[in-house]
Structure formats: C-alpha cells, structure tokens
A and B are shown apart, each in its own frame.
Chain A
C-alpha cells in the first residue's frame, strides 16, 4: 500500500521568509495530492492540491510542485505571515483504492 513521508516535523521561520515542506510517496499509481492546513483546535482545510498530470500549481503565496519520477511533492509558502502558523498535512490518494494516506504533519511557526 501507499506510504507517505513528510519533512520536517517542525519548521520555524521569520515573518516574510519562505517555507518549504516536502513529502514523498511510494505508490507510483497515486494520482492526486492535496495539502491541508490545520490550525489549533480546528478542522483540516484544503489549501491547495495537485494532480499527477501537472508539475506545478500556484495560488497566490502558496505553490505545490510534483515530481512523479522521484515520487515527491512539496508545498512552498512565500512571504510567510504569522497567520500561516499551523500544522500542514500532505496526502496522497492511492491509485487503486479509495484511501488517502496522510503524512505525519509539519508544525509551522512564523515568528513576527
């Protein structure tokens, strides 16, 4: 089955800097990769996603890149703000099933 590794587990940046979170997956048939943001005490919310037929997707300060050959995808946040502080989860949808496999999460802290 699918296995998703996420790094780093914690990330601290200064406001205005960029943050990068990386995930690797094992199932080459996986075809959909969402990223979720979970603020303390709140539900996970989708912030961006990418499908396997696309290499990069951008939405304002957030971008996701996908390297199918290497089986890894990354979340890039530019010009970070304190409100970006949260736990970010990557996930991969199994190619032959109904399941999403999640990474363990990255706790991002943006210091003002």
Chain B
C-alpha cells in the first residue's frame, strides 16, 4: 500500500482502557506527525518526530504517549483518556521536518 496508512480507522474505548493507534508511511519520509482534529477547532499538532527523535511536544497530556521505533512507523499509546479526547487523530509525514505533509486517513476515536 502506498502513502500514509493508519489503523484502526475507528476506535471506541472506555476511560480505563489502554489502546494504541498505528501509523505507517511508505514514502521514505524522515519526519512524522500526530495531529488532533476536533469539531470546530483547528488541527492541533501533538507530536513531531524527525529521524525517530521527538522534536516537538505541544503540551500534550501524559495520557497520550507517542512512540517512533523507526522512520516508517509511528504509534500513539492511549491510556485513561477523557471523553473530551474524542476526536479524529491524524498522522502525517514529510520528507524532512517542515516540508509538505502527507496525511493519513485518520482514526476516529470515541471515548465513553
């Protein structure tokens, strides 16, 4: 598969659950990003990884924990989330940080 893929596409979880979102890019890019998209709010950058090193963490609560084992894979580990964390979580990648970003299809997360 080409481009940026994300799994799962939809996720419903309780506040006590632990789950992980996965992103994979097949573009040979060096930078990967996690964004949160909520209704009526701008896209919010959560984390940036450049060459597997985290370069940006925009004051994201510790209940969100990113992991980047290599430049093609990015995970977002979730635990003890709140209902207000329900949103579309988008992964993106770019050749280098700050370049044109290619987005994945997103994971629609609902926290009950």
Please indicate whether A and B come from the same complex rather than being unrelated chains: yes
Write the nearest CB–CB distance from A97 to chain B, whole angstroms: 7
For residue A61, CB closer than 8 A to chain B, the reply is: no
A105 to B13, CA, bound (A): 28
> Do B42 and A43 have beta carbons less than 8 Å apart?
no
Q: Which of A13-21, A44-52, A62-70 contacts B (4 or more CB under 8 A)?
A: A44-52
Decide: A42 and B45 in contact? CB cutoff 8 A: no
> Would you give the shortest CB distance from A46 to chain B, in whole angstroms?
6
Inter-chain contacts of B58 with A (CB < 8 A): 99
Q: How many residues of A contact B (CB 8 A)?
A: 23
Q: In whole angstroms, how far apart are the Cα atoms of A44 and B100 in the complex? A: 12
Which of B14-22, B61-69, B72-80, B103-111 lies at the interface? B103-111
Q: Which residues of A contact B90 (CB under 8 A)?
A: 43-44
Residues of chain A within 8 A (CB-CB) of B55 are 98
Q: At the interface, yes or no: A11 with Cβ under 8 Å from chain B?
A: no
Which 9 A-B pairs give the minimum distances between C-beta atoms?
A102-B43, A43-B103, A102-B42, A104-B42, A98-B97, A98-B48, A98-B56, A44-B103, A43-B105
Chosen A-B contacts, 13 in total, with CB atoms closer than 8 Å, are A6-B42, A43-B4, A43-B105, A44-B103, A46-B100, A49-B100, A91-B43, A93-B98, A98-B98, A100-B101, A101-B42, A104-B41, A105-B42
